[in-house]
Structure 1
Amino acid sequence: MGEDAAPGAWARDLARGFAGAVLFALPLLMTMEMWWIGLYASPGRLALFLVLSVPLLIGLAFYAGFRDSFDWRDDVVDAFTAIGIGAITAGVALSLFGVIRLGDGLFDIVGKIAVQTVPASMGAALAREQLGGSGQEAQQRQEEASYLGKVFLMAAGALYLAFNVAPTEEMILIAFKMTPWHGLALVGVSLAMLHAFVYEVDFYGGRRPEIDRFWPLFLRYSVVGYAVALLVSAYVLWTFERFSGLDLERSVMATVVLGFPAALGAAAARLVL
């Protein structure tokens, strides 16, 4: 049995996971809109949200994780462990804040915890990257990631940052304040910043693909990364019932608004993971 399999090492890894869950999820745990989402969001959408988080967390366990993993079985175990950490963190924090109480209905309690579990689970899965102690094997996997692997990391980064603002009323308010011209300008700025942050500014950790020409690089990575950020944004807004009462134009505008931080998250994922 290796060192990482020792009980003390496992306890250390779990502690790191809980620390990552608290650090990332705390702003959301203390956000009133997230409490409301747990009350009115469709149970089917929340269930789908949790189900889709499983492959996401398996991928994060493979590329990062809160401990060293050696095969796909370890990644699966770590993914479900992260979900457990996220659920416990959300339940304890919301209880301490008085957001959930013993007298509340079962569906209300489950809904409030479920909507917070996914971001807390991501924080747990990325704890080692955020808190230090990243293993050489994980770093090597990130360096050797395939094209689809890089796209996955961009999607994870987009979701990671979009979580922080997606539930807020300001996303919808901004969508109503903007004109179509504002929307087009924001699309252009989002694309330019995504491309520049990763490939042109030379941030520490940026890994430029082996493509010398601008247009192949821009289309293959930056445009695809922005498209992924928009898809992630639309899905999160749909899950959080943020499209309710909006026409198509305002729904698209809200997606573009959330796509701005999501695009930055997609760019940052290549730098911090």
Structure 2
Amino acid sequence: MAEAAAENAARRSDDRGYAIGLARAFAGALIFAFPLIMTMEMWWIGFYVEPVRLLIFLLLGLGLQTGLAYYSGFSPSRAVTDALIGGVTAFAIGCLGSAAVLWLLGVLDTAQGWRGAVGMVAIQAVPAGIGAVAARQQLGGSREGQAREDRAGYPAQLFLMAAGAVFLAFNVAPTEEMILITFRMGPWLILLLMAASVLLLHALVYTVGFAGQEQPADGGFWTTFCTYTLAGYGLTLLISAYVLWTFGRADDASLPMVAMMAVVLGFPGALGAGLARLVV
């Protein structure tokens, strides 16, 4: 009897913990995605984005959320299957939360047709899902998740930096202002912006006294700078170019123009990569 009572109590405790994790995930999804939900450019992207690009974006987003669920999900992930379940759950929460808020704001209605409605919600589901995954660390704290991040190897650290870059770059990529800024900048300003992005990324991750900051590599400053900072910035530029392609910003632009837009978008992306350990 005592063992059965203890098992029931443990089961109730686990169920309660999971319910609290889901509540935090919904809150995180709304908090992280709310600026994008209120952005008109994000509404229209759901209508005109090509289905193939949208499908690739959603698959990559699901993979990103699964990886994040392994390190700092809204419930502890002890295996890859747990992380996969957490990633799918976060994606579902992102879809449901985005659809609910868009409907409450009067943006989502039957006049748009199923194609536009699905595209609009799906685009919003990726940042909302990232918010759902990050909610456990931001809203509830996670010593286990933090310890797992601290033990993560070099590829995992780059993955976390890429996740931070995706999230912050995604907040400005749909806007027209990003294109306008690119047109107003000349080559020298672009080069200065690249240098500023690299320096800020290095300072945020290794110099400023933030919690969870990385320790310098054994080889000293240059080894750390090359293996983490430059590698992280390179990933940020690749992510920026991919996001521009997904949103159709690179379709009618020349290669130099796309490169300049990637540098402009890479500035907030670099900040996101540097703050990744604090966010996700």
Same fold (TM over 0.5): yes
Alignment coverage as a number of residue pairs: 272
Change (3 A) 1:107 1:128: same
Report the counterpart of residue 4 of structure 2 in structure 1.
Answer: none
Q: How does 1:46-57 map to 2 (within 5 A)?
A: 46-57=54-65
Establish whether residue 23 from structure 1 lines up as the match of residue 31 from structure 2.
yes
Q: 2:136, 2:154 → 1: CA distance?
A: 24
Q: For 1:210 and 1:226, how far apart are their aligned partners in 2?
A: 17
Preserved contact between residue 62 and residue 126 of structure 2 (Cα < 8 Å): no
Map 1:87-126; keep pairs closer than 5 Å: 87-126=95-134
Aligned with 1:236 (options 235, 238, 243): 243
Q: Which moved more, 1:250-259 or 1:96-105?
A: 96-105
* Cα distance in 1 between the residues matched to 2:216 and 2:83: 27
Shift in Å, 1:270: 2.9
Contact (CA 8 Å) 2:164, 2:279: kept in 1 or not? no
Q: Would you say the 8 A contact 1:175–1:257 is kept in 2?
A: yes
Aligned with 2:69 (options 53, 61, 78): 61
CA distance in 2, matches of 1:142, 1:6: 23
2 CA distance for matches of 1:74 and 1:98?
36
Q: Which runs of 5+ in 1 are unaligned?
A: none
Q: Aligned partners of 2:61, 2:155: CA distance in 1, in Å? A: 18
Residue 51 of structure 2 is aligned to residue 43 of structure 1: yes
Equivalent-residue separation in structure 2 for 1:117 and 1:104 (angstroms): 18
Residues 95 and 101 in structure 1, CA contact (< 8 A), matched pair in contact too:
yes
Contact 1:4 1:10 in 2 (8 A): no
CA distance in 2, matches of 1:201, 1:11: 36
Distance 2:247 2:260 in 1: 16
1:212 deviates by 4.7
CA deviation after TM superposition for structure 1 residue 271, in Å? 3.7
Shift of 1:5: 6.7
User: How far does the alpha carbon of each residue in 1:39-60 deviate from its partner, in whole angstroms, 9 at most, with x for none?
Assistant: 1111111111111112211110
> Does residue 87 of structure 2 align to residue 79 of structure 1?
yes
Structure 2 regions of 5+ residues with no counterpart? 1-6
1:217 is aligned to 2:189: no
CA contact (8 A) 1:58 1:78 kept: yes
CA offset digits 1:56-113 (Å, max 9, x no partner): 1111011100111221111111110001000001111111111111232111111111
- 1:248 aligned residue: 255
Determine whether 1:145 maps to 2:152. Answer: yes
Change (3 A) 1:103 1:217: same
Task: Give CA-to-partner distance per residue, 1:157-206, whole Å, 9 cap, x none.
Answer: 10111111111111100111111111111111111111112112232321
Q: How many Å separate the matches in 2 of 1:270 and 1:125?
A: 13
Structure 2 Cα separation of the partners of residues 197 and 106 of structure 1: 43
Distance in 2, matches of 1:83 and 1:242, equals 25
Verify: 1:173 aligned to 2:176, yes or no.
no
More helix by share: 2
**Residue-by-residue CA offset, 1:222-243 (whole Å, 9 max, x unaligned):** 0000001111111111111122
Q: Is contact 1:20-1:124 (8 Å) kept?
A: yes
Residue 4 of structure 1 deviates from its aligned partner by: 8.1
* Aligned equivalents of 2:225, 2:278: Cα separation in 1: 17
Larger radius of gyration, structure 1 or 2? Answer: 2
C-alpha distance in 1 between matches for 2:112 and 2:194:
43
* Percent identity for Structure 1 against Structure 2: 50
